[in-house]
Chain A
Amino acid sequence: MKHTISVYFQNNFNALSRIIGLFSGRGFEIDSVSFGEAKEKGMARMTIATHGDALIIEQINNQLNKLVDVVKVADLTNEPFVERELSLIKVKSTPETRSEITEVVNVFRAKIIDISPDTLTVEVTGKKAKVNAAIGMLRPFGLIEVARTGTVALKREFKGMT
């Protein structure tokens, strides 16, 4: 099963390596990872998308918690959360295909952020599935390069009336 794990940790050169090294050293899988500074000074947040059975996920949580630099580990999968991934897609375009590509871009509420005589660069944001779909739709035009951030996620605070 897929899990999205948010790790809040002290931002130093060693911590990042320790977290990633834990996955490679213990044979855990990483589907995607993204990381950046958190709100507080000196702290960082990493979002790791991973998969495995319940025992493996429990191990991942426990092992992450054991790292001295890690302050909090949250497995977001079991509660409502919001997640997004951003992707930049450079695609071939000719004057003939340009409008067709623009249509695809509009459907995904994506943006064209760079243009050249032969290419368009598209920025698309959304859940992983949406980004996958957008890339799939643009593929027939000829993908030149794709850069993806991996999932970032936070817990959903307000769950509405129940």
Chain B
Amino acid sequence: MSSATVETTKGPPAAVAGKKTGTKTETELLTGSQILLKALSDEKVDLVFGYPGGVVLGLYDDLFKASTPFRHVLVRHEQGGTHAADGYARATGKTGVVLVTSGPGATNTVTGIATAYMDSIPMVIFTGQVPAGLIGNDAFQEADIVGITRPITKHSYLVKKVEDLEQVVHEAFFIARTGRPGPVLVDLPKDMLCAKSKYKGKKQIAIKGYSCSQNGTVKRIAEAAELLSNAKRPLIYAGGGIVLGEASDELRALAVKTNIPVTTTLMGLGTFPESNAQALGMLGMHGTWYANMAISECDVLLAVGARFDDRVTGRLDGFSLKSKKIHIDIDPSCLNKNVNVEIPIQGDVKTILPDLTRMVRKPETEEWWQTIWQWRKEHPLRYAKSEKIISPQFVIEKVSEVTGGDAIVVTDVGQHQMWSAQYYKFNHPRSWLTSGGLGTMGYGFPAAMGAAMGRPERTVFCISGDGGFQMTTFELATAVEHKVPVKVVVLNNGYLGMVRQWQEMFYGQRYSSSHLASGNPDFVQLAQSYGAVGLRATTPDQVMPVLQQSMETSDKPVVMEFMVAEEENVFPMVPAGAALTEMVDTD
């Protein structure tokens, strides 16, 4: 941790805030607000999701007056703002930016920050704060947001001197996007936004003790290559680190050279094309039968950018017992955390994978593939189709068909999320946005909106349930205002589906507080009241026409309500606390 990291960029772009560089600018005093806006421009921010309030009104006034090169999007709730910034970050690979006021504005961001933290999403959250002198006095709209968010941020700052502000902003962005990315919070007391200082326009990042670029030793990589080359039943297990590290091509190169089967985690979907015959789909609790059997039977397991999460491993003492393990991750604290590995390699997957690919020889896997094909034949992903009632899985298949697997798919959390993971054929990275770590209901729609604003050229589908969509429905207002053509699929089964499934399987069918139908709105009318398009399908033959109709709208959100089978369950399934080999297959 001793190496300091230095990043330098040249002075500010001449066009920033309409000021010309020269002696005049260098000596000119700017307010904290102006410094913040200038620093955001220097960070090439193009989109900010925010909500004004008391202590940041001065800043919003400057936003109004200045010709900033970025767009400010007024969300309808700060939680929606953080999810939108998160979706924007996941879809574009850039850093999401959120701007809110103190107290309740700040506390409303907490769920979104925790969501981003668990999935390592780069985000910078600016919160207003009461004037520095009032901190600790229980002032109006005061909350210790730095304290509240400490366990769910990668780092945080409370600005106490306006002279520090410029540097803090640059450090915040640097920390958020480098190494294992994550959210960084900057708390801005009101007086810091009014006080004046010079804008230096020089980014010199040197944070003592912050190191983000160590790469595994050649020796370790060579050992890993040797192990893989001699494997009889090798398997690649790829996670969200491949997305964050932009290493899909590198992963594919390794897989193609070695003909090793690839299974992806929930977070890793899209890093390896599902259209490739080597793809085994997702593993874990609701993964495919063959992926889970493969990880249980393999003799060499290569984990890349994954963290052996409990939803992946099942019961730890029954996890992949026959394998020697290689684990590549940028975060040293992920190595040997849940599972002991023979060859831990710390570093950036984008640089390590090509080295590994160069050193590895193609292992003899003929027999192994025979076994896997057999599993595939005997235990494919499947569900019972019906003529009368819409199967939720059928809707996902049709979404996959209508988009050719090329859309950005964003979900909430629950059954629809797992069905999307199982039945949508992902072919591209940064095209599957889901709250994997925290499991945040209400994430889907605002995140989809953020993704669509960041990638306006892509088709964006939000797949949600009647439960999750109601948690952040109000962001329809934001999406309508900004003409964001997100297509929302509401799989309406009248239940909190995953809760109901667990109650059915493990709690004697006592559906405690999981029935929603009696209070559900008419989603079509709800959408229309916001000025969005509302559509509904009640029978299987209406599914495709509704989806096709949604593709024709390009200037507003479309909400499609699919009245699906009420008591459908997600299978296959590894019951909580069971080993992957104890997986329960579809009837």
Knowing A9-B209, A68-B207, A72-B2, the reply to whether A14 touches B337 (Cβ < 8 A) is no
Knowing A62-B333, A68-B209, the reply to whether A21 touches B1 (Cβ < 8 A) is no
Please name the residue on chain A nearest to B155 by beta carbon. Answer: A68
B332 contacts A10, CB within 8 Å?
no
- Contact partner of A72 among B150, B209, B331, CB < 8 A? B209
Q: For B154, list chain A residues within 8 Å (CB).
A: 68
Q: For B336, list chain A residues within 8 Å (CB).
A: 55, 58
Q: Mark B180-215, 1 if CB is under 8 A from A, else 0.
A: 000000000000000000000000000111100000
18 contacts between A and B (CB under 8 A): A10-B208, A14-B150, A14-B158, A21-B150, A55-B337, A58-B336, A59-B337, A62-B333, A62-B335, A63-B333, A65-B332, A66-B333, A68-B154, A71-B1, A71-B2, A71-B209, A72-B1, A73-B1
Q: Which of B233-275 contact A (CB under 8 A)?
A: none
Within 8 Å of chain B (Cβ to Cβ): is A95? no
B210 contacts A68, CB within 8 Å?
yes
A21, B149: Cα distance in complex, Å: 11
Q: Mark B1-34, 1 if CB is under 8 A from A, else 0.
A: 1100000000000000000000000000000000
A71, B208: Cα distance in complex, Å: 6
Q: For B1, list chain A residues within 8 Å (CB).
A: 65, 70-73
Q: For A18, list chain B residues within 8 Å (CB).
A: 150
Q: For B332, list chain A residues within 8 Å (CB).
A: 62, 65-66
B2 contacts A13, CB within 8 Å?
no
A14 contacts B209, CB within 8 Å?
no
A70 contacts B333, CB within 8 Å?
no
Within 8 Å of chain B (Cβ to Cβ): is A17? yes
Q: Which of A34-77 contact B (CB under 8 A)?
A: 55, 58-59, 62-63, 65-66, 68-73
Within 8 Å of chain A (Cβ to Cβ): is B225? no
A21 contacts B151, CB within 8 Å?
yes
A66 contacts B151, CB within 8 Å?
no
Please name the residue on chain B nearest to A55 by beta carbon. Answer: B336
A13, B135: Cα distance in complex, Å: 14
Within 8 Å of chain A (Cβ to Cβ): is B132? no
Q: For B109, list chain A residues within 8 Å (CB).
A: none
- Residues of B at under 8 Å CB distance from A? 1-2, 146-147, 150-151, 154-158, 175, 207-210, 331-333, 335-337
Within 8 Å of chain B (Cβ to Cβ): is A25? yes
A25, B158: Cα distance in complex, Å: 21
Q: For B158, list chain A residues within 8 Å (CB).
A: 13-14
A21, B147: Cα distance in complex, Å: 10
B325 to chain A, nearest CB (A): 15
B209 contacts A66, CB within 8 Å?
no
Q: For B331, list chain A residues within 8 Å (CB).
A: 66
A73, B158: Cα distance in complex, Å: 25
Known pairs A58-B336, A73-B1. 17 more at Cβ < 8 A?
A: A10-B209, A13-B158, A14-B156, A18-B150, A21-B150, A21-B151, A62-B335, A65-B333, A66-B331, A66-B332, A68-B175, A68-B210, A69-B155, A69-B209, A70-B1, A71-B208, A71-B209
Please name the residue on chain A nearest to B1 by beta carbon. Answer: A65
A70 contacts B146, CB within 8 Å?
no
Q: For B210, list chain A residues within 8 Å (CB).
A: 68
Knowing A70-B209, A71-B209, A72-B209, the reply to whether A14 touches B146 (Cβ < 8 A) is yes
Please name the residue on chain A nearest to B154 by beta carbon. Answer: A68
Q: For A9, list chain B residues within 8 Å (CB).
A: 209
Q: For A17, list chain B residues within 8 Å (CB).
A: 147, 150
Q: Mark A20-38, 1 if CB is under 8 A from B, else 0.
A: 0100010000000000000
A92, B40: Cα distance in complex, Å: 64
A14, B151: Cα distance in complex, Å: 11
Q: For B151, list chain A residues within 8 Å (CB).
A: 21, 25
A59, B307: Cα distance in complex, Å: 14
A40, B150: Cα distance in complex, Å: 26
Q: For B156, list chain A residues within 8 Å (CB).
A: 14
A119 to chain B, nearest CB (A): 37
A10, B331: Cα distance in complex, Å: 21
A59 contacts B155, CB within 8 Å?
no
A58, B151: Cα distance in complex, Å: 20
Interface centre among A10, A66, A72 (most CB of B within 10 A): A66
A20, B293: Cα distance in complex, Å: 42
